[in-house]
Structure 1
């Protein structure tokens, strides 16, 4: 039985439809050359959940010769087809998921999904931020509780779980309770995306600390860091994170120290900015 360190590549927010072709070509070359034990993609495969975007994402993922697990992001739910958004929001994503999802066989490690997307949110508009519904949390906890005792657990979701910033801005509904429950289950870390800047933060909860690891983007929609993905090495109970990027910026200069409100470039004083500060002069395009 393999007992050495496990290496995962954590990708997020690839946004086929507005993808950075050089970045995904480089990421694929890294995967082909280094053959990590698995690739975890934490949502936003597409820009607008269009069929051609899902097709491009599917072809790219199927070209990877390693096990892959994918989670849905808010951009993977139809924006323009409101009938499908309300009555069958995950149809296109599930079709892709069935084609690309691989059974992961990692020694003493389970990667458990947590859905943070919803078709609508009565509390607010727009509906781009997260919501952990009671049903979604129950499904995740059931999977964790069914694992053999002592199994190390990573949870994957799209949205970071912190619920509020100091200004009271709602980020992920039910995130505070979710973090406490996951900390109580001794989850090693929660992997997420959505922000387009990488981070590695530990949140204190009444049930203990919970580590949260966010990946950057491989799209043209950068926030304050160049396109990147996370290399995650799990050695026993230790996790090491490297924010890999084409510009070879050191990881500490890539990571933000607070979860911002959204993935848009920081425009107001006090918004979290990475030390590298690669903020685009204008907001990135949205098609």
Structure 2
């Protein structure tokens, strides 16, 4: 079994300073095998903010896999946005925009979904999809296969002010071919964990789609600061959400879900040990196959 810490939407430049040290301490206490950060390390892609983010990452356990988000692209510096959108990210965080982590149980592929021509939306392109498909197809089916993006392949329940990642449908079809098990993302500052079958009608296949809230930002959207702890093993994934408790100055367990794999599909386990007959609800959904693309 592997323990994966999933952080997202740090937004250095708009963080709650009371959270930083307790978060670092608790992540160390959890002794993760991997720390994943799914984008938006900064608020406005400024050098000082990237330096704060770099210091935060250096204080966390390793190994780590990090991808950029739309806030890591300059907003007001139009020349930098168009010509070198991730120059500061590459300088301070990492050169590799499609990083890969692999051990003898899991393989994790990061994909950069941040784009210069949009303010908040993101997308994957054909080259990225094919690269991820090949990387995951190259390992055996005994491995748990994980994709990390900033922009989501599904949306949590409730009113939405965001779109799915662009080209989501062809990406999901490619992920089905290579047997991707788990999709991690952020962006919407709201936590959720659902089967992809509720949105994507791909016969005989579904992945587990997990969203992280914002770990450290003051830009909450009705949910307390939080992060995910995933216990990942063959055919079973437990997702624990830890939420910030201001009075206690610490994160505490807020919710837990367990999913099991049958064939190439993931189902949520109910409290009585049975499997959900239908994919877990994920809010308002378009008809199958009509996700943004």
Q: What TM-score, normalized by structure 2, do the two folds share?
A: 0.76
1:176-217 C-alpha deviation (Å, 9 max, x unpaired): 221222123211110000010110011223252121101110
Pair 1:73–1:224, CA change in 2 (3 A): same
Identify the residue that residue 250 of structure 1 maps to in structure 2: 254
1:224-279 C-alpha deviation (Å, 9 max, x unpaired): 210000000012221100011123363169xx953689xxxxxxxxxxxxxxxxxx
Pair 1:103–1:30, CA change in 2 (3 A): farther
2:125 to 129, 133, 136: 133
Pair 1:145–1:185, CA change in 2 (3 A): closer
Superposition map of 1:1-287 within 5 A: 5-98=1-94, 104-121=101-118, 127-148=119-140, 150-162=142-154, 170-204=163-197, 205-207=201-203, 208-218=205-215, 219-247=217-245, 248=252, 250-251=254-255, 258=282
2:146 alignment partner, SS class: strand
> 1:68·1:100 contact (CA, 8 Å) conserved in 2?
no
2:93 alignment partner, SS class: helix
For the residues of structure 2 that align with 1:259 and 1:93, how far apart are their CA atoms?
A: 33
Identify the residue that residue 275 of structure 1 maps to in structure 2: none
> 2:226·2:241 contact (CA, 8 Å) conserved in 1?
yes
> 1:160·1:259 contact (CA, 8 Å) conserved in 2?
no
**What displacement does 1:140 show?**
1.7
2:65 alignment partner, SS class: strand
**What displacement does 1:138 show?**
2.2
For the residues of structure 2 that align with 1:258 and 1:23, how far apart are their CA atoms?
A: 29
**What displacement does 1:23 show?**
2.3
1:197 alignment partner, SS class: coil
What is the number of residues matched between the two proteins?
Answer: 248
Does 226-235 or 149-158 show the bigger shift? 149-158
5+ long unaligned stretches in structure 1: 122-126, 262-287
Q: What TM-score, normalized by structure 1, do the two folds share?
A: 0.78
